[in-house]
Amino acid sequence: MSKQKRAKELVAGGMIVEAGNARDYETGDWRTEKPEVDFDKCIHCFFCWAYCPDSSVNVDPEAGKMKGFDLKHCKGCGICASICPKNAITMVSER
């Protein structure tokens, strides 16, 4: 059995020791629902992009259009769907 560490020997939790590493962690596995976009309704206003807390909305800046979602990092919060003025985004079950 290994010896227990004392409090001062433990690594502090909740610290970012290496900046810019968020891309290395695929957090999309947490979600139970995912966003889907109906491009026939989408007006490419980028509200979803502006409000997404995870930067999971993919856009084509040259074409000025929303392309879809980065599901590796989307946590399924539904903010994009709730903010969409044309109801072009719906949350669907992962099942």
The structure tokens 């020791």 sit at 17
Residue 4: predicted pLDDT: 86
Q: What is this structure's pTM? A: 0.75
Residue 3: predicted pLDDT: 83
Residue 4, domain member (yes or no): no
Domain of residue 34, CATH code? 3.30.70.20
Residue 66, domain member (yes or no): yes
Number of domains the chain is built from: 1
The three-class DSSP label of residue 37 is strand
What residue numbers bound the domain in which 33 lies?
28-93
Residue 33: predicted pLDDT: 97
The series of mean pLDDT values per 10 residues for the chain, 95 residues long, is 80 73 78 97 98 95 96 95 98 92
Residue 12: predicted pLDDT: 75
Residue 2: predicted pLDDT: 73
Distance CA 58, CA 48 (A): 10
User: What are the helix and strand counts (H, E) for the chain?
Assistant: 2, 4
Residue 1: predicted pLDDT: 64
